[in-house]
Structure 1
Amino acid sequence: MKHNFGAGPCILPKEVFQEASQAVVDFNNSGLSILEISHRSKDFEAVIAEAERLVRELLNVPQGYSILFLQGGASTQFAMVPLNLLADGAQAAYLDTGVWASKAAKEAKKIGDVAIVGSSADKNYTYIPKNIEVPADAAYFHYTSNNTIYGTEVFDIPSTVAPLVCDMSSDIFSRTINVADYALIYAGAQKNMGPAGVTLVIVKDDILGKSGRTLPTIFDYESHSKAGSMYNTPPVFSIYVSMLNLRWLKAKGGIDVIEQENIIKARALYGEIDRNPFFKGTAVEEDRSRMNVTFVMENPELEASFLELAKERGLIGLKGHRSVGGFRASMYNALSISSVNALVDTMKEFEEKNK
């Protein structure tokens, strides 16, 4: 059995893979593949409508928000957010907590004035800055809720009167959020929602069309909202698989249930990291991510030996990002507690073998 701790394209439930694979051959007994049906067909219109309903239901999205299914990943949103929300002469505020937060700010600086109101770069992004001050007149305040590379997560929303914008690519649908606190949320699907290829955007309708810019239509949220995510051909298969995954999440009991499972998984692994004398965590304890657990060896010379043992035990995707080194265990929604227990058992086995 393989236990997938990879940080990139997400692990999905087995039943989602099975249903999606059948749809590739024959979708809804139509004799056509999901890969070849028209995005204007009634079959796909039903898919995207259900996907939107599930997003609204699972996240309790209030009235007055548009749900968009776009392309280009979160990296495109790094530019679309300031293009749509940062008017000439205004300033946006950004929190720098890692590579993706830094890239988002870098793109925004190409479009307008940006203030970095907090950064944890001084300690290699091992913590979330606290007590930051966001200018009251900021066009918006942007932060990244979970940092996949450095293993930190924002659990307390920074206080601000500015419109709140968040990149939730790696922890959306993993825990309860209050959508009404945000002007805009965006997330690449490929961690907890579905396969790469679609990006979810949840945007408050009353902030649309107010940047003062004349935008290319494809970069204008308002255009996509008016077209129901059909301004250009949407990523049909990615939206379909995301819909299946959201169905699975609803059937499990929704966000409250999955959040408790994620807490249990995180406690189990962090507990072993803290107990086992061969390992140590890299993120400060209060900011430890539930989605991406980063840790290293007390003796770095033993890292290759542990990775070899992990491979033998069917644990894949554990090698840490080069910026941190060591190990990274990504525990997205579909990763079972049995996989986490397999990793914990392997860590204990390594300890016994190397005493």
Structure 2
Amino acid sequence: MRVHNFSSGPAMLPFEVLEAAASELSDWRGSGMSVLEVSHRGKDFVACAAEAEALLREVMGIGDNYKVLFLQGGASGQFDAIPFNLTAAGDRVDFLNTGQWSAKAISAAKRQGLEVSVLADQADSKYTDTPAAGSFEVHPDAAYLHYTPNETIGGVEFGYIPESGSVPLVADMSSTILSRPIDVNRYGLIYAGAQKNMGPSGLCVVIVREDLLDKARPNTPSVWNYAAMAAADSMLNTPPTFGVYLLGKILQWVKDAGGLTAMADRNRAKAEALYGFIDASGYYSNPVATDSRSWMNVPFRQAKDELDKTFVAEATAAGLTNLAGHRSVGGMRASIYNAMPLEGVQALIDFMTDFERRNG
């Protein structure tokens, strides 16, 4: 029986995509082999990767002045790869710190001996809000400004794109990519682990502006050297082939559903329904400032913390899985990425209503 999977990642995938992949898993494109078995340098898979890239460019509106890379190591690998590719030793880099994933990127830059400037740190709010637009000033000599549009653990999301002037803007979009339209041209580099809205874990997508490709240090590992990978069409080493294949199918699903505008409408409706219920209940609460609430990850608490384990266990039995909050913050968290239907959110609301009736 399929459940409503509220995991923060690896997250649920569109059921239609899973069925399509299953139907051709043992015989892909008449090859008599699975896509898991074919050579990444064979013409069929090279075409598959090219199709996925073309769809990503179409769906996101990525211009020809950007390279699209399919890499391994997840977004965490890019915490180190980005400084290798965009800085020289001792360069200044600017950061906005809104939670644990921002902090990890900051730590990686510090390990490489860079001059790290944290322009805004939301520690005073316990990372339950984002800095106000215009409240920080980017250093004009910074190699880049890095921020995390959505913090998966805390459920905190920027409601705007930070202004960085001539300084390249770098964004970890792992948990927001494909959830709504974005202006790619505002960014120097976008990176995202696939396991939220783009496919299975193991694939990381990097979208990098071409003028940033010539800055890599000589000791940059070749598999993370953006220029080298771009020149090899991401085939310098064996790429995560199944992830690339499934990304193509998910992008087609997004396109067929109406593109990113339709995804935005779908995701806004889910978030509004769940936050609206939480705010009106009197029993549940969300700690995040209203203007910084995530569409994708909704943490919440109930009035009786001692019943958290009971809530999670009963929800799981009801087919609502992976609702336990991150171990660092506790409570509950519902991740409602693209593949989660509105019906799943309504099922959660119905369960929460019943749980409050029985325990409030």
* Counterpart for residue 65 of structure 2: 64
Q: What's the TM-score, normalizing by structure 1? A: 0.97
User: Percent of pairs identical after alignment?
Assistant: 47
Runs of 4+ in 1 over 3 A off after TM superposition: 211-214
Q: Distance in 2 between matches of 1:14 and 1:215?
A: 39
Q: Which of 122, 128, 131 is the matching residue for 1:129?
A: 131
Moved more, 24-33 or 303-312: 303-312
Question: 2:21 maps to what in 1?
Answer: 20
Distance 1:154 1:269 in 2: 19
Structural mapping, 1:292-303, within 5 Å: 292-303=297-308
Partner of 1:45: 46
Q: Which residue of 1 aligns with 2:81?
A: 80
- Alpha-carbon distance, 1:350 to partner: 1.5
Conservation of the 8 A alpha-carbon contact between 1:73 and 1:198: yes
Residues 55-64 or 116-125, more deviating: 116-125
Alignment map for 1:328-347 (pairs within 5 Å) = 328-347=333-352
Question: Which sits farther off after the overlay, 216-225 or 249-258?
Answer: 216-225
SS in 2 for 1:247: helix
Partner of 2:265: 260
Q: State the match for 1:145 in structure 2.
A: 149
Structure 2 counterpart of 1:172: 177
Pairing 1:109–2:110 present = yes
Write the deviation string for residues 5-64 of structure 1: whole angstroms up to 9, x where unpaired.
011212111111112223321111211111110111111011101100011001101121
Structure 1 residues 214, 305: closer, same or farther in 2, change over 3 A? closer
The structure 2 residue matched to 1:210, chosen from 205, 209, 215, is: 215
- Flag structure 2 segments of 5+ consecutive residues without an equivalent: none
2:187 counterpart residue number? 182
- 1:193: Cα distance to partner? 0.3
Relative to structure 2, which stretch is displaced further, 88-97 or 49-58? 88-97
CA shift for structure 1 position 190: 0.4
- Report Cα offsets for 1:87-131 as digits up to 9, x if no partner: 234200011111111001100112222111111123321111221
Q: Provide the secondary structure at the position in 2 that maps to 1:186.
A: strand
- CA shift, 1:306, in A, is 2.2
Q: Deviations over 1:277-324 (max 9, x none)?
A: 210002111100000000111221232332233123211010001221
Aligned-residue Cα RMSD (Å) equals: 1.3
Of 154, 161, 181, which residue of structure 2 is paired with 1:157?
A: 161
1:282 — aligned with what?
Answer: 287
1:219 aligns with 2:224: yes
User: Partners of 2:216 and 2:43 in 1: how far apart?
Assistant: 35
User: 2:216–2:225: 8 Å Cα contact kept in structure 1?
Assistant: no
Rate the CA distance shift 1:350–1:64 in 2: closer, same or farther, 3 A: same
Alpha-carbon shift at residue 194 of structure 1 (Å): 0.6
Classify the secondary structure of the residue corresponding to 1:295.
Answer: strand
Q: What residue is the counterpart of 1:98 in the other structure?
A: 99
**How much has 1:220 moved relative to structure 2?**
1.1
1:229 lines up with 2:234 in the alignment: yes
1:196 equivalent among 201, 216, 221: 201
Deviating more after overlay: 156-165 vs 254-263? 156-165
Q: 1:10 is paired with a residue of what secondary structure?
A: coil
Normalised by the length of structure 2, the TM-score is 0.96
CA displacement at 1:351 relative to structure 2: 2.1
Question: Could you say which residue in structure 2 is the equivalent of 1:318?
Answer: 323
